[in-house]
Amino acid sequence: MKTQRGFTLIELLVAMAIVAIIGIMALGGLSEVIRQQTIAQDRADRWREIQFAMRIIAQDLAQIHPRPTRDELGETWLPSVLANPSAQFPMEISRGGWANPAGFPRGTVLRVAYAWEDGLLVRFHWPVMDRAPGTVPVRTELLEDVANVELRFMDQSGTWHLEWPPTGMAGPDTLVMRPRVIDFGLELDDFGRVWRYVETGG
Please write the tens of the pLDDT for every residue from 16-60. Answer: 888 888 878 877 777 777 777 887 888 899 999 999 999 999 999
Q: What is the CATH number of the domain that holds 154?
A: 3.10.610.10
Give domain status of residue 172, yes or no.
Answer: yes
Task: Judge whether 108 lies within some domain.
Answer: yes
pTM (predicted TM-score): 0.78
Q: Which residues pair with 186 in a beta bridge?
A: 149, 194
Which pLDDT score, from 0 to 100, does residue 186 have? 95
Cβ pair 154, 165 in contact under 8 A? no
Query: Do 124 and 135 touch, CB atoms closer than 8 A?
Result: no
For the range 50-56, what are the long-range contacts, defined as Cβ-Cβ under 8 Å and sequence gap of 24 or more?
A: 50/143, 50/186, 50/188, 50/191, 50/194, 52/142, 53/121, 53/142, 53/143, 53/186, 54/184, 54/186, 54/194, 54/196, 56/123, 56/142
Neighbours of 105 (CB within 10 A): 5
- Inside any domain, residue 24: no
Interval 13-27: pLDDT, tens: 777 888 888 878 877
Residue 95 near residue 110 (C-beta atoms within 8 A): yes
Total number of domains constituting the chain: 1
Q: Range of 143's domain?
A: 58-199
Q: pLDDT digits over 102-124, tens only?
A: 666 667 889 999 999 999 999 99
